[in-house]
Amino acid sequence: MNTCYFQRVKPQHTICSRSLNLVRKVLVVASVYLVFGLLFQYVYADINDSTEQGADSPYQSQHGSVWLKPDYGTTPDADSTTRQNIYIEALQMQTDVDINITGAIARATVRQMFINSSEYWAEGIYVFPLPERAAVDRFRMRIGERIIEGRVKERVEAKKIYQQAKAAGKKASLIEQQRPNVFTTSLANIAPGEQITVEFEYQQVLEYRDERYRLRFPMVVGPRYNPDLHQTGADKANTALQKYVSPLPDQTSVYTQTDETDNDNNPTRIHILLDAGVSLAELDSSYHQIDIKQTSENRYSISTMGESIKADRDFELVWKPELIDKPQLSVFEQEIDGDHYTMLTVLPSDLGHLQQKVQARDVIFVLDISGSMAGTSIDQAKASLITALDGLSSIDRFNIIWFNHESGSLFPGAVIASAQYKNIARHYIDNLQADGGTEMLGALKLALSKQETFSRFRQVVFLTDGNISNEVELFKVIDDQLGNNRLFTIGIGSAPNSYFMRKAANKGRGTFTYIGDVNEVHEKTVALFKKLENPALINIQLDLNTSQDDHNTYEMFPNIIPDLYAGETATILIKGKNLPDSIDIRGDYGNTEWHSSITAAQLLQGKTSAENMSRDGSRDGIRVAWAREKVASLMSLRHESTADNVRDAIKQEITSTALQHHLVSRFTSLVAVDVTPVNISELLYQQRMKNNLPHGWKRANAGNGNTMMAQMRLAQTATGSELKLLLGLLFFIAALSLYRVPCIRRAYADHTKTIHGLIS
């Protein structure tokens, strides 16, 4: 009996535990191997990564700073080890700026001196910013006493001319527009020890904001242009510099080399002559010390203090003309080659006066709460909506519309912005959750619904990060239902369909705000909401009355005059074969209608003032301003179209306008070439001029605050799947190891039982 039990139990126990043990062992070993393997790889990768960050890595290509390299060919197959890269700091720069301001037009002459202190022939390339909508129309190269004027050419052709001249050893220089406000000058064949000056002129219609004119001379191209890495400190940069092998053959795209050290790379001197035309309430420089001399009643001479200033922050001159309590209209006129160019400036009344005549408005907030908004975007959007609620006065009305794949609104229609309703709205905003897909149509229909009273001035603010694909339908809704609405679109992140948003805002007579960095959502939307609080002059209409039958020959920019908000001006540029008999302009401010009319006599007076302006160096300022405005409006039209043939047609028109008016544009450049070859046999060394790091900027946060150029952020490109796998396996092992316990215990119990049985 006992033996029998023993014989029956023992083999079963052995088979059970052996096979179980084997399986268990295999599993444990495999899991341990996997877990440790993954862990090790993770740690190893970390170590690896920290060594990769060292300067030796060829990946660390873009480490800023200056370099000068022999201008060898860099074909993809070229063996990088055979290239002897020499890094010498050879070229220095110095910039002189003279600016003449007449009324709202500034004409600047910029002289960039390239100084080659090395013993090699060199080519310098300098990337620099200019004000938005600067019209560069003159370019020349000074070699000793000689001046070589630049000619306007199509961009590709200009580059070719420059290339050929460079290859032939001639002195050549080129100015190109890379972005609306970023330009490059290149200067080839600078002899050892030589100084060459390139000189260009640009004109700009000054910005008027917060009741002040602002002249900005930008001096830094932020490191956002510069694909710099996480290394900090000059030492690292220097080592990186010495061992740097260029992996990218294309070194001519627009990015700058910023200097990590505190050197002054581009000493700059600025001198300004200001003829304000009216008496000034204020005149000051925002960031630099200046020396002001009043030369006559409304004329001033302004210079930067000392020998030069460091180009590490923008120069800004601000002046405030004395305003009166009604909108004002000023006019300038010029006749060039049988064409009349007219510039009208509408100056609304001052803010203090305006606040007594507040324009009641309806504000409709439309918020995207689709899943992609989750996180920072929705949090910041909610916070800015709450700030916007505070800005609503008791005569305003508002509503909140949300959408994801569905849409809905807080109130059935806009309600008075009373404290009670605002509280409800705050609570409502707090409870919005980001989830679901993106379908904008329903929300747009809700926002522009015809059931709402149309007599009121309505601002619809659309905030989304989504990709919109049914544009045609959406545009139709906007066209059909716009009425008294103004559409302000805000696009967040890298995904928004800028084409749609920009065009929608244009159709909707509002603005498009692009926010690339989700962390800037609050700041930028609040700035927009603040502006929207004070409409100063709306529904502006301009009529050109003429007895002649040439009404259609007038070309006016902008075509639709935007609403003016407090502290803004509108500048309208008109070209025509004849002067109109009179110009009527009307608009609403507060609850009053404003109307002003300019007669031919006043236009002629405008001509005299324009002639005064010309004498001060602006020559044909209004023509240039008109041409630049035309190019800008065509460029934005081109942005809005997707059909290739339309884009090509617009490109053609831009090119011909720019060629005719001698302007640098996206498709035209100015090029100057000396006739005599000077560098016959020497190799040419190329240097990208370095820019100073903007004042107060540190490497770590260099990504903030500069949105001048199209930049691409990199996406988040890993999932947690490996971590999940690792955790899953860890839990599995833990479970297995615990599972052993009862099994052993049972085995032990069986064993003792057996022994007991044996003994008994």
Partner 1 sequence: MKDCFQKHLRILSTVVIVILFSLSLWQLASAGWIQGKAMVAQQLLNHSWQLTIDDQANTHNSHRPWPWADTWPVAKLRVPQHGIEQIVLAGDSGSSLAFGPGLSFAGATPDSGGITMISGHRDTHFNFLKDLKINDRIYLQTRAGGVQYHVESFQIVDSETFRLPNDSDDRSLVLVTCYPFEAATAGGSLRYLVRASPIAQPPIPAKNIDQRLPGTGSGLTAE
Contact region with partner 1 (CB under 8 A), list: 141-149, 350-358, 554-562, 720-728:
720-728
Contact region with partner 1 (CB under 8 A), list: 37-45, 296-304, 338-346, 360-368:
37-45
Using the rule CB under 8 A, which residue among 1, 714, 756, 759 binds partner 1? 714
Nearer to partner 1, 340 or 699 (CB): 699
Over the window 108 to 147, marking each residue x when it contacts partner 1 by CB under 8 A and - when it does not, the resulting string is ---------------x------------------------
CB 625 within 8 A of CB 633: no
Q: Which residues pair with 672 in a beta bridge?
A: 173
**Sequence-ordered list of residues with C-beta below 8 angstroms from that of 428, at least 6 positions apart, any chain:** 400, 410
Q: Is 407 in the site for partner 1 (CB under 8 A)?
A: no
Using the rule CB under 8 A, which residue among 296, 738, 759, 760 binds partner 1? 738
Concatenating the DSSP letter of every residue in 560-612 gives SPPPEETT--EEEEEEESS--SEEEEEEEETTEEEEEEEEHHHHHHHHHHHHH
Q: Is 416 in the site for partner 1 (CB under 8 A)?
A: no
Using CB under 8 A, which residues numbered 640 to 699 contact partner 1? Answer: 642-643, 677, 679-684, 686, 699
| Total of chain residues touching partner 1, rule CB under 8 A | 118
Using CB under 8 A, which residues numbered 273 to 312 contact partner 1? Answer: none
What would the two tokens of residue 67 be? 């370099």
Contact region with partner 1 (CB under 8 A), list: 266-274, 426-434, 455-463, 703-711:
703-711
Computed from CA positions of residues 595, 588, 357, 330, in that sequence, does the dihedral angle turn out positive or negative? negative
Shortest reach from residue 749's CB to partner 1, in Å: 9
Nearer to partner 1, 291 or 722 (CB): 722
Task: Say how far apart CA 285 and CA 271 lie, in whole Å.
Answer: 12
Using the rule CB under 8 A, which residue among 103, 124, 169, 590 binds partner 1? 169
Q: Is 759 in the site for partner 1 (CB under 8 A)?
A: no
The three-point CA angle 299-301-303 to 5° equals 155
Over the window 513 to 542, marking each residue x when it contacts partner 1 by CB under 8 A and - when it does not, the resulting string is ---x--------------------------
Contact region with partner 1 (CB under 8 A), list: 101-109, 311-319, 348-356, 460-468:
460-468
Nearer to partner 1, 125 or 556 (CB): 125
Using the rule CB under 8 A, which residue among 92, 118, 239, 251 binds partner 1? 251
Q: Is 46 in the site for partner 1 (CB under 8 A)?
A: yes
Using the rule CB under 8 A, which residue among 5, 33, 36, 44 binds partner 1? 44
Task: Say how far apart CA 365 and CA 673 lie, in whole Å.
Answer: 56
CB 369 within 8 A of CB 335: no
Using the rule CB under 8 A, which residue among 242, 469, 553, 652 binds partner 1? 469
Q: Is 224 in the site for partner 1 (CB under 8 A)?
A: yes
Using the rule CB under 8 A, which residue among 320, 383, 732, 751 binds partner 1? 732
Query: Counting Cβ atoms within 10 Å, is residue 47 exposed (0-12), middle (13-18) or buried (19+)?
Result: exposed
Using CB under 8 A, which residues numbered 424 to 443 contact partner 1? Answer: 436-438
Q: Is 550 in the site for partner 1 (CB under 8 A)?
A: no
Q: Is 731 in the site for partner 1 (CB under 8 A)?
A: yes
Shortest reach from residue 43's CB to partner 1, in Å: 9
Query: Counting Cβ atoms within 10 Å, is residue 617 exposed (0-12), middle (13-18) or buried (19+)?
Result: middle
Concatenating the DSSP letter of every residue in 336-364 gives ETTEEEEEEEEEPPPHHHHGGGPPPEEEE
Shortest reach from residue 301's CB to partner 1, in Å: 39
Q: Is 729 in the site for partner 1 (CB under 8 A)?
A: yes
Task: Say how far apart CA 349 and CA 508 lie, in whole Å.
Answer: 25
Q: Is 61 in the site for partner 1 (CB under 8 A)?
A: yes
Q: Is 75 in the site for partner 1 (CB under 8 A)?
A: yes
Q: Is 212 in the site for partner 1 (CB under 8 A)?
A: no
Shortest reach from residue 15's CB to partner 1, in Å: 23
**What is each CA distance from 235 to 54, 172, 308, 595, 596, in whole angstroms?**
12, 36, 28, 65, 64
Rg of the chain in Å (alpha carbons): 34
Contact region with partner 1 (CB under 8 A), list: 205-213, 267-275, 303-311, 718-726:
718-726
Nearer to partner 1, 113 or 684 (CB): 684
Shortest reach from residue 247's CB to partner 1, in Å: 4
Q: Is 54 in the site for partner 1 (CB under 8 A)?
A: no
Using the rule CB under 8 A, which residue among 591, 718, 759, 760 binds partner 1? 718
Type of residue at 418: S
Q: Is 423 in the site for partner 1 (CB under 8 A)?
A: no
Over the window 480 to 499, marking each residue x when it contacts partner 1 by CB under 8 A and - when it does not, the resulting string is -------------xxxxxx-
Q: Is 757 in the site for partner 1 (CB under 8 A)?
A: no
Peptide bond into 558 cis (omega under 30): yes
Task: Say how far apart CA 713 and CA 746 lie, in whole Å.
Answer: 61
What would the two tokens of residue 86 be? 């020499």
Maximum Cα interatomic distance, the chain, rounded to a whole number of Å: 133
Task: Say how far apart CA 488 and CA 417 lie, in whole Å.
Answer: 20
Task: Say how far apart CA 280 and CA 103 lie, in whole Å.
Answer: 12
The 3-state DSSP class for residue 285 equals strand
Using the rule CB under 8 A, which residue among 12, 41, 393, 394 binds partner 1? 41
Using the rule CB under 8 A, which residue among 74, 94, 238, 303 binds partner 1? 74
Task: Say how far apart CA 329 and CA 595 lie, in whole Å.
Answer: 10
Contact region with partner 1 (CB under 8 A), list: 95-103, 249-257, 291-299, 625-633:
249-257
CA 700 from centre of chain? 19
Task: Say how far apart CA 350 and CA 567 lie, in whole Å.
Answer: 7
Contact region with partner 1 (CB under 8 A), list: 161-169, 312-320, 481-489, 653-661:
161-169
Task: Say how far apart CA 375 and CA 518 lie, in whole Å.
Answer: 9
Nearer to partner 1, 171 or 340 (CB): 171
The residue whose two tokens read 């970023």 is 182
Query: Counting Cβ atoms within 10 Å, is residue 77 exposed (0-12), middle (13-18) or buried (19+)?
Result: exposed
Task: Say how far apart CA 41 and CA 89 lie, in whole Å.
Answer: 42
Using CB under 8 A, which residues numbered 332 to 391 contact partner 1? Answer: 370-372
Which residues of 388-429 form beta strands (DSSP E)?
397-403, 407-409, 415-416
Shortest reach from residue 513's CB to partner 1, in Å: 16
Type of residue at 279: S
Shortest reach from residue 12's CB to partner 1, in Å: 21
Using the rule CB under 8 A, which residue among 357, 427, 551, 713 binds partner 1? 713
Q: Is 721 in the site for partner 1 (CB under 8 A)?
A: yes
Task: Say how far apart CA 211 and CA 209 lie, in whole Å.
Answer: 5
Helical residues (DSSP H) of 482-557, grouped into ranges: 498-507, 521-532
